[in-house]
Structure 1
């Protein structure tokens, strides 16, 4: 049995975005309970050379929308990458979810063979199925897991069940 490109992308990205929404709810409640300025959590990093929490949300959103755009040879919506609050991040997730919801299974039929050039300067070209399996999904989940780790590092009460959805 093979997995369709739709099932390999849209529901997977939606699930990760739902985890990110749960993190925001729990982080916001934690900030209120502990009297922490929410900006501290939104700008928190695991290491000085890593993106802050807001950047993890931005990259997860970008990975999901650009993966589908590349597979379907369409343009993804552009977002400013200026989110500075929990509500800003929620809005970005909502816009990403709305974009993902616009894709049908039929729109992704045959995209496993479409040649996708990896972003950046590498010039590497992969078939769509390999691009999703070896680049887009690992990249997406890296940013979801890093958002998780940032909030755990800051003391927010999130756990594995929140990650798994």
Structure 2
């Protein structure tokens, strides 16, 4: 039995974005309870050379929307990458979710063989199914997991169940 590219992408991205929303709720409650400036959490990072929490949200959002745009040969909405508050990150997630909701299973039929050039200057080209399974989904979940790790590192009580939804 095969699984459709739609089922591998849209619902998976929606699930990951839902986890990111849960993290924001928990981070906001933690900041309120512990009297931590929310800006500290939004700017927190695991290492100096890694993106902060806001960057993890931006890249997860970008990964979801650009994956679907590349697969369908369409343009994704552009966001400014300037979020600095929990509410701004929520707004970005909502815009990403709205974009994902515009895709039907039919819109992704037959994209398995579409040739997708990986972002950056690698020159690597993959068929759509391999692009989704070996690049797009791992990249998306890297950023979701890193957001989880940043918040956990800051003391926010997020756990495996939050990650899994």
Q: Shift in Å at residue 54 of structure 1?
A: 0.0
1:11 equivalent to 2:11? Answer yes
Q: CA RMSD in A?
A: 0.2
Question: Which residue of structure 2 aligns with residue 86 of structure 1?
Answer: 86
SS in 2 for 1:112: helix
Q: Given the alignment of the two structures, is residue 135 of structure 1 paired with residue 135 of structure 2, yes or no?
A: yes
3-state SS in 2 of match to 1:126? strand
What residue number does 1:109 align with? 109
Counting only pairs closer than 5 Å after superposition, residues 148-159 of structure 1 correspond to structure 2 as 148-159=148-159
Residue 55 of structure 1 corresponds to which residue in structure 2? 55
CA shift for structure 1 position 48: 0.0
Whether 2:149 is the aligned partner of 1:124: answer: no
Compute the displacement of 1:111 (Å). 0.4
- CA offset at residue 143 of structure 1? 0.1
TM-score calculated relative to the size of structure 1: 1.00
For 2:48 and 2:42, locate their aligned partners in 1 and report how far apart those are by CA, in whole Å: 14
Q: For structure 1, which runs of at least 5 residues remain unmatched after alignment?
A: none
**Number of equivalences:** 165
Residue in 2 that maps onto 1:146: 146
Ranges in structure 2 where 5+ consecutive residues have no aligned partner: none
